[in-house]
Amino acid sequence: ETGIAMETVRNRMNALRKKGVILKYAPEINYGKFNISTYLVIVNFRYMSVDSRKRVFGYLNHRNDVKIIFETVGKQEIYFYAAVGSPKELEALVKDMKYRFQNSILNAEHLLITEELKLDFFPEALAP
């Protein structure tokens, strides 16, 4: 409860959506309830050209088990968040990726996410 009228909240959210601040509405899913494990996968590249970057991101974007993909400045690596039913499914994903992009990928490692401690969609820096 915010103490703000529902119509006011709706109008403010619509204004943020029209300005491009809110890009989409999505549920927060507790994957553990479905016996799905989540992993952070870190993929290091030998060299990632503009073309290979497009192909890797396109590949990951079309996979239903990849939830978030991001990269950093200055490193030849990408990170993604995978939600899979078993460690074997994760192994298959990484193996397929290594095969498809064998000339680009140096190595890949993954970390099992045991608990998500914080997810803040409206950080303090954006507060009025």
Q: Mind listing the pLDDT tens digit for each residue in 23-39?
A: 888 777 887 788 899 99
- Domain range annotation of the chain: 31-113
Which single residue is written with the structure tokens 């309830």? Answer: 33
Q: Does residue 69 surpass a pLDDT of 80?
A: yes
Q: What letter does residue 73 receive in the DSSP assignment?
A: T
CB atoms within 10 A of CB 95: 11
The answer for residues whose C-beta is within 8 angstroms of residue 100's C-beta and 6 or more apart is: 59
Q: Report the side by side order of strands in the sheet with 77-84.
A: 66-71, 77-84, 37-45, 105-113
Supply the mean pLDDT for the chain: 88
Could you tell me the pTM of the whole model? 0.74
User: Please, where are the H alpha helices in 20-86?
Assistant: 50-61
31-113 has which fold? Alpha-Beta Plaits (3.30.70)
Q: Mind listing the pLDDT tens digit for each residue in 4-24?
A: 899 998 999 899 999 998 888
Q: Tokens for 57, please give them.
A: 């991101």
